[in-house]
Amino acid sequence: MRAVLGIGNPGTKYEKTRHNVGFMLLDKLAEKYKLTFKPSKGEYYYAGSNINASPFYLIKPVTYVNLSGIAAKDVLQNYDLATEDILVVTDDLNLENGRIRIRQSGGDGGHNGIHSIIYHLESDQFPRLRFGIGNNFEKGDMKNYVLKPYSAPELELLDNDFEFAIKLIENFIIGGLNRMLNHFSKAVQEHKSNSELTNKEGK
What residues are annotated to the active site? 19
Q: Please name which of 43, 18, 32, 76 lies closest in space to residue 167, comparing C-alpha atoms.
A: 32
At residue 62, the 3 state secondary structure works out as coil
Q: What's the distance, Cα to Cα, between the start and end of the chain in Å? A: 30
DSSP class of residue 149 equals: B
CA distance 95 to 117: 21
CA distance 197 to 188: 9
